[in-house]
Amino acid sequence: MNPVFNINVYHFVLLSLGLVGAGVATILTKRNAIGILIGVELVLNAAGINFVAFNKYLHHSEVVAVAAEVELPQSAAIVPAGSFELTEASPSYPETMDKIGGASAQFVRRPALHGQVFTIFIIVLAAAEAAIALAIFLNFYNNFSSIDVERADELRG
Amino acid sequence: MFYAFAALTLLSAWAIVISQNIVRMAVYLLLTLAGAAGMYFMLEAELLAAIQLIVYAGGTLILIVFGVMLTSGNPHAQLKARGFEVFLGVLIGLAITGLLLLAMVNSQFPAERAGEYAHGYDRVGLFGQGFLSTYLIPFELAAVLLLVVMIGAAYMARRRAK
């Protein structure tokens, strides 16, 4: 298929490449402290897009064990036991199996959203970081009447 | 669709690098964030796109604009970087892009896998279940972090008694 119209993971990785380059360039070229903060936000966004793209294209489903009495959605893809490998990381590892009823458990293939969850945490951390950074900038502005980062040199070693 | 959002994201991201006015930079950041939200829509992460628009465009950006308004004492005194510094910064940014591009070309993603989430599942519901089971500890840590950040930011930005 034509790689221009058949969007795959490389397209999104390329996009976040451009984004992270813009972010680094912004961090390095701005003398305004808020400009540097904006650059950091760009880099974090690039990381988030990468996480979601890899989630969708490289790890979009996983097999989990659910207790036998749990009602599944009609379209749930039930996987016969033994047709896949159990790994320690997967929620269907034997210890988990014992908790949910051992041999009578059923296996279901369902969407894996680990990358998206990680991206939510990235967004939360970015918001927290922006709040703290602006508090610091306000303090700095009160002391120096400017937010030029070149004047923040009192801690020179 | 993909190319429209990609062009919006990349053009406004590099416009941030070029522009010298901090308010324009904030507007371009808004466009970039909107483009990234469009990317999340393209990747079938609807909840994430909504969160991106609400938290980033609605929260973080407002915070940044407030910061701009509170710290721009003299609007005519623009902080211009020296030409040499701009050249070096953009050069390093492009160099890092090139390095990562090289890494991407040399890495083999299993691209033959179709990127399709299983149908018939409520992915937003899976998010909720994940936050209260697999991701319970990071979730609680994030909650504590936000509380600490709220108190810390208010404490640092308070008006000092002279």
pLDDT at site A85? 54
Choose among B39, B109, B157: nearest Cβ to A15.
B39
Residues 6 or more apart whose CB falls under 8 angstroms from that of A88 comprise none
Cβ separation A117–B127 shorter than 8 A? yes
> Model confidence over B17-57: pLDDT tens digits?
888 888 889 999 999 999 999 999 988 888 999 999 999 88
d(CA B14, CA A25) in angstroms, rounded, equals 9
Answer yes or no: are the C-beta atoms of B29 and A37 closer than 8 Å. no
Cβ separation A123–B70 shorter than 8 A: no
Q: Count of CB contacts below 8 A, A vs B?
A: 247
Instruction: Specify the pTM.
Output: 0.84
A135 vs B contacts (CB less than 8 Å): 152-154, 156-157
Contacts of B126 (CB under 8 A, 6+ apart): A110, A111, A113
The whole-number pLDDT of residue A6 equals: 75
Positions of chain B with pLDDT under 50: none
Instruction: Per residue of chain A (157 residues), give pLDDT as tens.
Output: 566 677 788 889 999 999 999 999 999 988 888 889 999 999 999 999 999 998 888 877 777 766 666 666 666 667 666 555 554 445 545 555 555 555 666 777 777 888 899 999 999 999 999 999 999 888 888 887 777 777 777 776 5
Residues of A in contact with B38 (CB under 8 A): none
Contact yes or no for B120 and A128 at CB 8 A: no
Burial of B40 (0-12, 13-18, 19+ CB in 10 A): buried
* pLDDT of amino acid A3: 64
pLDDT of A90 reads 52
In whole angstroms, what is the distance from residue A66 CA to residue A99 CA? Answer: 10
Residue with tokens 């211009």: B80
The conformational region for residue B60 under phi > 0 = left, psi -120 to 50 = alpha, else beta, is: alpha
**B37 HSE (CA, 13 A, CB side):** 17
Report DSSP state, residue A61.
E
Contact check, Cβ <8 Å, A111/B123: yes
Identify the residue among B33, B70, B71 best suited for mutation to test binding to A, counting A beta carbons within 10 A and taking the highest. Answer: B71
Burial class (CB in 10 A: 0-12, 13-18, 19+), A110: buried
3-state secondary structure at position B146: helix
Instruction: Answer for the pair A80, A131: CB distance below 8 angstroms, yes or no.
Output: no
Q: Which residues in chain A have Cβ-Cβ distances shorter than 8 Å to B90?
A: 25, 28-29
How far apart CA B3 and CA B8 sit, in angstroms, is 8
* Rounded CA separation A37/A54 (Å): 26
